[in-house]
Structure 1
Amino acid sequence: MRLTRRQWVALAGGAASFGPSLVFGQAKSPLLIEGKKTLFQRVLTRPGAGLAPKPGGPAGKAAAPFTAFFVYERVTEGGATWLLVGAGSQGKTEGYLREADTVPWRHSITLAFAPPTNRERVLFFRDRNALTTFVNADNAATESQRIAKEITAKGTLGPNNPVIAAEPEKFVDLQKQFYLLPVLEASSTLLKSGHRTRMVKVASITQDAPTAAPPPAPAGDSGISNFNSAVVFVIDASSSMQPYIDRTRQAMEEVLRQAEEGKVGNRIRFGVVAFQDDPGKTPGMEYLSRVFADPNQTTNKDQFLAAIGKVKATKNSTRAYAEDAYAGLDEALRKINWNNFGGRYIVYITDASAREGNSQFASTRMSTDQMRTHAQERGVAIYAMHLKTAEGQKDHAIAEAQFKRLTAWPGKGALYFPVEAGDPAKFEGDVKKMAKALVEQVKSPEKALAAPQAGKGDAVQDSVDAVGRAMVLSYLGRQQGVKSPPMYESWASDRDVKNREIPSFTVRVLLTKNQLSDLQNTLRRLVEAGEKAQLDPGSFFNQLRSAAVAMGRDPSRLGQGQAKNLEQAGLMGEYLDGLPYQSQLMSIDFDAWTNMGVGQSQAILDGIKSKIALYQRFHDDVDRWVKLNPAAGDGDRVYPVPIDALP
């Protein structure tokens, strides 16, 4: 998604950080953000910050960089402002910090580096003018490559150079090396080329205090020879699919034999997940979805071939032409431990579209966009092999549009490969080609580190090359513990200097577990109110008032004329106030909702339900929850929710 200028301004100067919503009878509670009733002021420590027992006193206990504190008092001593801070909101304070040693957390927005597919590394400049001059230069892309390489070799360009730092050469994994890029300022600029880009002033905060100069990168790419991959086939096992299941097995027999002969069989593992339909509701079904081969446990060719040999298409028809494919994808994403692999691929094979979250037969309740986010949060790329058989002709256009959205990979586009007429021989050849390309990537991962080249003309090979480069860079970043550059304030462009259509960053909102649970509960209440109002549109306001009371919100704001939409009604938690994104749900006019047709309102409610299901996946993804202060409670852990996943 793209943010409007107004949204970026809100991002740069919006509400301060969030905190727990209730304090029970303490003598002292954190300071509230101006104009808020439940959100407390918070700050993040800069490297070198120390806690003093009193304002102006010598620092005693050192505060670890990147630690989040609630602010209880602001006092002036010796010409400096001091903050009384505590780890939590329950009234326990730990000492005073100089305000100059902190970064105010004015919002819950942070940036993260976008996947490094077909884009240049981000450069950070000392001032906005230097950045503007650079991005307007005719040779900006070439210069960007040169400067980034020089920083990699030297570690720094010196105090007089306009460039302070560069994005690390290897990808910084937000899960393994959590970092913040809070936005301090943002403005939109029209370039000479006619493109519009946003200049963002960020404060980079990592968990390590900076040295005098960042050390140069180690020689070579330590650990690259150990790069490994998991490739999981998620196969439609409905009644029409047996010929393609057999062809997949035949193709993989040759691929696995060659992998073992090349002595890389232990570094590329294959798995199989199949899906049919709910056996409790559909006669003749053996399972809804099942893992037949887990790549963590399938160590050789014979094991894989035996496992895929057990996958048999059902002889009975499923409940609809569209299949419950997202049950199979969800099974693969949740049941398989992807963290053990550098390359993470799903090859999704089907001859029919997938049931969206609004289908009465969809078990996951997740729609296409949420399933894509679910996969990419785990660093998994989905390739779709769409068998365009004659029987499914009426479904082809629906499935193609759906699969292109499902497989969209940042910086590359759709990883979608149709097999015209469902030709079994062509399908087998495509499976073989893709699998061999992935084996070759494991055999020679250093080739992926070269600068992206123009396409070779083969769609399968080009996609494996592009996504593979991002996978290898991410793997090396995790193995080498690559971190975001140390603490500094600088300017960067939110778009790639070579291709202005590719974003340099992704925008995320840090929500606590308490807030994510509150968001799920609020959306469930809204769905209930909306569904009841479909039967009696005139009762919509009463339904919302009941929901407001149940959630502890102020129902008086729902009076006619006081609130024109859900955003003004104050039903959502304050942690979503002022966020820089356009919400279809929150901006719907009440009059428009009351006069809306059932089909239109149902589509909106279905979208909400799909997001609720996605939030449950976030909640269950224990590896990605981060505690910003070791002394904080588990309820204050945060999850970096992609901003386009918000309602």
Structure 2
Amino acid sequence: ALWDLEGDMGHTPVASEPRDDGIRCAGEGPCVESSTALALRVLPRPFSHVYAQRKADESAIIEANVAAFRPLYVFAREGVELDRAGDPRGWYQVGAGREAPVGWMQARDVFEWRQALLVSYTHPGDPIEGRSPVLMFQDLSSLESLVDDMDMAGRARSLYADIRQGEAPASVVSMEPERFVDITRQFYMLPILDWEQTRIQGDDARLLQLAAAVPRARGADTLDNPEYASQSRVARGEAGAGLTDLQVDIVFVMDTTRSMQPFIDMTRDAVARMTRQFTDEAAARFRFGLVTYRDNSEIIPALEYATRNHTPELVDGEALVDLLSNSARATQAGSLDYPEEVFAGVDVALRSAWRPDALRFMILVGDASAHPKGHAQNVSGKDEVDLRRELDDAQVHLLSLHLQDPRAEADHPVADAQFRHLSRVRGDAGRSA
């Protein structure tokens, strides 16, 4: 670090004192971190056991192979030494709840999880303008050496070049894969164990101490593992399916109340124009779905349905054009009020027969707001917040088209807010599609 340049000449030696790590174990209830007043918890590693006493012996095991990564409360610590991250010493008395401990676990079998926070990778962007993969260093001093270097960017480029040549320096133990790893589809765990505040080129930043955990494995993915080192260097443009193999599923969610027939016809014509330009190979990669919605048909029977899924199995473009021409006709029956069952339509479309490896898109077309959750005509019991969360979980990208009739100006702000939230760009709450 830069302050090492000052040296220590003239300094009075200070007697070393036991390190106060800020944890208080009072004997009643879980241990507490003084600075946050939060109960201390640990995360078990895979293939770890709980013992009746502080003795790593098979005869003392009271719970074998405890659930990995599931937090346990700490009630006491005995002889815990964490200075050697690869081989911590000591014991933790742990319990599943705050009420009482159930036994002891070795320090080598758990991560001490003070922050109760996890790190997940954001999408790295495209190979030209996107960010570089995250590097994990062996210790804090190695990371500080890079951060404090006057040519930090140059040194970082050299590190990446060495790693891509298969010559990772000893100070770098792991690297985020170059291709995006989506935590909702491929689970990984990066608990924050500790952190330090710093500044990098005038900006506030935090240096994080992480524990890397992967399912069904005792260790973590490190660059000294030849298989992981090779996989981590697979470039974004090389990983996974190429453009010629890419599958795309598009499900239309459309209002079919009486004001919508012109827009249904316009959608039909647009799909027809698009599919006429498809090659045979492109046509095989695209599949389409159609869900229509109106209003609560139990309250207004003349509407015939609240939602209808016209494609239990997704179809090709020609079949969608036929459905839009014949099945998805606007009703002439009127509703009790202007809002419609938008949320119910999105809810049904979420359960479409998506192909496992396809990109998933939903296109919402409507001219009215949705009945809020709790309204007598809301048949799904959900709102835009619930559905946005489910869209994220299902990896579905929703694009919305809110058609604004000047005669319904009073409804525009409500509908606009709902449609924008449903079509929010994942990872950026301020942008909608």
Answering whether residue 170 of structure 2 is matched by residue 159 of structure 1, we say yes
- Aligned length, in residue pairs: 380
Partner of 2:19: none
Partner of 2:136: 124
Q: Show the 5 A alignment for 1:68-147.
A: 68=70, 70=72, 76=78, 80-83=89-92, 97-106=105-114, 108-117=116-125, 119-120=130-131, 121-126=133-138
d(CA) in 2 for partners of 1:364, 1:401: 19
The offset of 1:182, in angstroms, is 1.7
The one-letter code of the counterpart of 2:343 is: Y
Structure 1 contact 405–414 (Cα < 8 Å) conserved: no
* Residue 131 to residue 311, structure 1, CA distance change in 2 (3 Å): farther
Normalising to structure 1: TM-score of the pair?
0.49
- Per-residue CA deviations over 1:531-570 (Å, capped at 9, x if unaligned) read xxxxxxxxxxxxxxxxxxxxxxxxxxxxxxxxxxxxxxxx
The offset of 1:380, in angstroms, is 1.2
CA RMSD of aligned residues (A): 4.5
The one-letter code of the counterpart of 2:121 is: F
1:280 to 298, 307, 310: 298
Structure 2 contact 299–377 (Cα < 8 Å) conserved: no
Gaps of 5+ in 2: 1-21, 82-88
The offset of 1:298, in angstroms, is 2.7
Answering whether residue 431 of structure 2 is matched by residue 414 of structure 1, we say yes
Answering whether residue 198 of structure 2 is matched by residue 201 of structure 1, we say no
The offset of 1:232, in angstroms, is 0.8
The one-letter code of the counterpart of 1:182 is: P
Partner of 2:395: 379
1:332 to 349, 362, 374: 349
1:184 to 193, 197, 202: 193
Relative contact order higher in (CA < 8 Å, ≥ 6 apart): 1
The one-letter code of the counterpart of 2:368 is: A
* Residue 395 to residue 233, structure 1, CA distance change in 2 (3 Å): same
* Residue 53 to residue 388, structure 1, CA distance change in 2 (3 Å): closer
Looking at secondary structure, tell me which structure has more strand per residue.
Answer: 2
The offset of 1:139, in angstroms, is 8.9
The offset of 1:76, in angstroms, is 4.9
The offset of 1:299, in angstroms, is 3.9
Q: Show the 5 A alignment for 1:42-441.
A: 43-46=42-45, 55-57=54-56, 66-68=68-70, 70=72, 76=78, 80-83=89-92, 97-106=105-114, 108-117=116-125, 119-120=130-131, 121-126=133-138, 151=163, 154=166, 157-160=168-171, 163-186=172-195, 189=198, 191-193=200-202, 195-207=203-215, 208=217, 209-210=219-220, 212-213=224-225, 214-217=228-231, 220-224=238-242, 226-259=245-278, 261-294=279-312, 297-309=313-325, 310-333=327-350, 335-338=351-354, 340-357=356-373, 359-410=375-426, 414-416=431-433
Q: Secondary structure at the match of 1:346?
A: strand
The offset of 1:327, in angstroms, is 1.3
d(CA) in 2 for partners of 1:395, 1:136: 56
* Residue 196 to residue 368, structure 1, CA distance change in 2 (3 Å): farther
Structure 1 contact 369–406 (Cα < 8 Å) conserved: yes
Normalising to structure 2: TM-score of the pair?
0.70
The offset of 1:278, in angstroms, is 0.2
d(CA) in 1 for partners of 2:409, 2:311: 32
The offset of 1:175, in angstroms, is 3.8
Q: Secondary structure at the match of 2:302?
A: coil
d(CA) in 1 for partners of 2:354, 2:386: 19
Q: Show the 5 A alignment for 1:463-612.
A: none
The one-letter code of the counterpart of 1:270 is: F
d(CA) in 2 for partners of 1:350, 1:307: 18
Structure 2 contact 289–352 (Cα < 8 Å) conserved: no
Q: Secondary structure at the match of 1:385?
A: strand
- Per-residue CA deviations over 1:13-69 (Å, capped at 9, x if unaligned) read 9999xxxxxxxxxxxxxx942479xx9975333478677786454679995994547
Gaps of 5+ in 1: 1-12, 17-30, 417-647
d(CA) in 1 for partners of 2:153, 2:299: 57
d(CA) in 2 for partners of 1:359, 1:143: 60
* Residue 116 to residue 399, structure 1, CA distance change in 2 (3 Å): farther
Structure 2 contact 134–175 (Cα < 8 Å) conserved: yes
Answering whether residue 30 of structure 2 is matched by residue 33 of structure 1, we say yes
The offset of 1:336, in angstroms, is 2.0
d(CA) in 2 for partners of 1:303, 1:15: 67
Partner of 1:611: none
The offset of 1:347, in angstroms, is 0.8
Structure 1 contact 122–167 (Cα < 8 Å) conserved: yes
Partner of 1:425: none
Structure 2 contact 275–283 (Cα < 8 Å) conserved: yes
Structure 2 contact 32–39 (Cα < 8 Å) conserved: no
Looking at secondary structure, tell me which structure has more helix per residue.
Answer: 1
The one-letter code of the counterpart of 1:157 is: A
Structure 1 contact 55–75 (Cα < 8 Å) conserved: no
Structure 1 contact 148–166 (Cα < 8 Å) conserved: no
The one-letter code of the counterpart of 2:275 is: L
The one-letter code of the counterpart of 2:211 is: A
Structure 1 contact 277–324 (Cα < 8 Å) conserved: yes
d(CA) in 2 for partners of 1:92, 1:197: 37
The one-letter code of the counterpart of 2:230 is: P
Identical counterparts, % of pairs: 25
- Per-residue CA deviations over 1:216-251 (Å, capped at 9, x if unaligned) read 127643544543221111111121111111121122
Q: Secondary structure at the match of 1:104?
A: strand
* Residue 342 to residue 167, structure 1, CA distance change in 2 (3 Å): farther
d(CA) in 2 for partners of 1:239, 1:144: 61
d(CA) in 2 for partners of 1:262, 1:84: 64
d(CA) in 2 for partners of 1:388, 1:143: 55
Please say which structure displays the higher CA radius of gyration.
2
Structure 2 contact 295–341 (Cα < 8 Å) conserved: yes
